[in-house]
Amino acid sequence: MGLILVHSLWAFFAIALILINYFISVYKKEGFKPFLKQLSLRLILPVTVLVFSLKLILYKNNQEDFNYQWKSSFENKTGISKKLFLKDDKFRGMNVFKLGRKNSETTIDALIKSNIEWVALLPYFYQETEKSKTVSTPDTIGKWSRRDSLFIKDIKILHTKEIYVLLKPHLWMSSGWRSNINFENTNDWTNWFADYRKNMIHYALMAEKTNVDLLCIGTELRSSLKHIPKKWLSLIKEIRAIYKGKITYAANWDDSFQFTEFWNALDYIGVQAYYPLTKNNSPTLEEIKKGWNVHIKKLKTISDTFDKKIIFTEIGYRNDASATIKPWVWGSFFERFYTKKSDKAQLLAYQALFEKVWNEPWFAGVFPWEWNSSDFPIYEKPAQNMIAVWYANPTKK
């Protein structure tokens, strides 16, 4: 999508340059009035029609014949977490990106109102592409940068409100996907993991300093688990020596889960649960629920194999009609012109999740993606209230 955008920009500037040269030529050869006439007919009028047409398309795509009755009686209006986790060990979570860069306390109050008891904070560290052999590292491990200080501040505020924290550092790339990292020789893997390790030790120190309740030591890095498994086991031992809380790892939904020693060394199995559930747009609730059946069987087998509960470290649905077909697909600027908005499809996707999975004995809880995302919006959508309703009451152990 980035390449398409670059080409589109180049085309825009090329057309603009051609038009500028044309109108300058008309002005020089024919004078001001012919220039003004040509400008109106060949530029102003077409652009006006185009803008009006695009606005009309956006308007129609954003219209939806769906009225949701908000269930405010399920909301937590006390201003502090009810800590139902102590009663049923269920993670009532939410991924919140860039919390410290916004009005943190206002956001936290809204989270509490929706019965959210766990917040996943997401510090990022950087690798240019999936082919890059190095990862950005802290200047000094355990010495907090200005950005680190924002996370530490938010952790303290969340704990003051009695909200639990999952610290979930992410490896971010400009292009590619972290699951596809691959190198031809052992030295490259060794050097890459040395950089990765520095980041995780840094955040393990932060987690221990701030009494973080759960630490995720990696997200969607399956190629590294396959090629350098012993380094991961060594890293877990190092982290355990630093951080006294519980740890997990966020595997992609289609990973194989064959690294037995690794999963046995964790406290929870984390899954990025962007499972495909339907093949059609605007599905019914029953169609979405049926789509969960094959995935639930596999998840139960994984949980039984390692005798550990599973957390959905991420799960998300766009608010469009195709939300349950390929939930992992992010939106784009252009999609808004041909994609039909559907708060209903998003709501039904979350309803199906809770009705099919929430009370499974192997299921430890969920961290939806993401509270205020432009692609996977939850805040002020009907899905927010659906989550609040299901989070409201303790489940039976």
Answer yes or no: is pLDDT of 142 > 80: yes
Residue 89: domain span: 82-391
pLDDT digits over 113-133, tens only?
999 999 999 999 999 999 999
Determine the Cα–Cα distance for residues 222 and 203; give it in Å rounded to an integer.
Answer: 20
Query: 134 with 227, same domain?
Result: yes
Query: 348 with 318, same domain?
Result: yes
What is residue 136's predicted lDDT score, i.e. its pLDDT? 97
The verdict on residue 363 lying in a domain is yes
pLDDT digits over 173-206, tens only?
988 999 999 999 999 999 999 999 999 999 999 9
Determine the Cα–Cα distance for residues 367 and 385; give it in Å rounded to an integer.
Answer: 15
Q: Average of pLDDT values for 254-276?
A: 96
pLDDT digits over 18-74, tens only?
777 877 887 778 878 877 777 777 777 677 766 665 565 444 555 577 889 999 999
The verdict on residue 375 lying in a domain is yes
Query: 328 with 238, same domain?
Result: yes
pLDDT confidence bin for 351, thresholds 50/70/90: very high
By the 8 A CB rule, do 331 and 375 touch? yes
Query: 94 with 40, same domain?
Result: no
pLDDT confidence bin for 8, thresholds 50/70/90: low
Q: Average of pLDDT values for 348-357?
A: 98
Query: 212 with 353, same domain?
Result: yes
Query: 181 with 52, same domain?
Result: no
The verdict on residue 213 lying in a domain is yes
The verdict on residue 71 lying in a domain is no
Calculated CA dihedral for residues 277, 279, 281, 283, nearest 10 degrees:
-50
One-letter amino acid identity for 24? I
The verdict on residue 323 lying in a domain is yes
pLDDT confidence bin for 7, thresholds 50/70/90: low
Structural domain total, the chain: 2
Answer yes or no: is pLDDT of 9 > 50: yes
What is residue 32's predicted lDDT score, i.e. its pLDDT? 80
What is residue 59's predicted lDDT score, i.e. its pLDDT? 46
What is residue 14's predicted lDDT score, i.e. its pLDDT? 73
Determine the Cα–Cα distance for residues 184 and 202; give it in Å rounded to an integer.
Answer: 28
350 versus 42: the higher-pLDDT residue is 350
What is residue 63's predicted lDDT score, i.e. its pLDDT? 56
pTM of the predicted model over 0.75: yes
The verdict on residue 171 lying in a domain is yes
**Within the chain, how many helices (H) and strands (E) appear?**
14, 10
Q: What is the CATH number of the domain that holds 190?
A: 3.20.20.80
Query: 53 with 194, same domain?
Result: no
pLDDT confidence bin for 95, thresholds 50/70/90: very high
Q: Name the percent of the chain lying above pLDDT 70.
A: 89
One-letter amino acid identity for 283? P
What is residue 57's predicted lDDT score, i.e. its pLDDT? 46
Determine the Cα–Cα distance for residues 59 and 62; give it in Å rounded to an integer.
Answer: 5
The verdict on residue 69 lying in a domain is no
| Closest C-alpha to 263, from 314, 291, 229 | 229
Angle at 330 between CA 50 and CA 334, to 5 degrees: 10
pLDDT confidence bin for 1, thresholds 50/70/90: very low
Q: What's 5-74 look like in SS3? A: HHHHHHHHHHHHHHHHHHHHHHHHHHCHHHHHHHHHHHHHHHHHHHHHHHHHHHHHHCCCCCCCCCCHHH
Q: Name the percent of the chain lying above pLDDT 90.
A: 75
What residue ranges in the chain does DSSP mark as E strands?
A: 91-95, 118-121, 124-129, 164-167, 170-175, 214-219, 246-252, 268-272, 310-315, 363-368
pLDDT confidence bin for 13, thresholds 50/70/90: confident
Query: 32 with 166, same domain?
Result: no
What are the φ/ψ torsions at residue 329 (nearest 5 degrees)? -80, 125
Per-chain mean pLDDT for the chain: 90
Answer yes or no: is pLDDT of 331 > 90: no
Query: 88 with 32, same domain?
Result: no
Answer yes or no: is pLDDT of 362 > 60: yes
| Closest C-alpha to 377, from 337, 350, 355 | 350
The verdict on residue 315 lying in a domain is yes
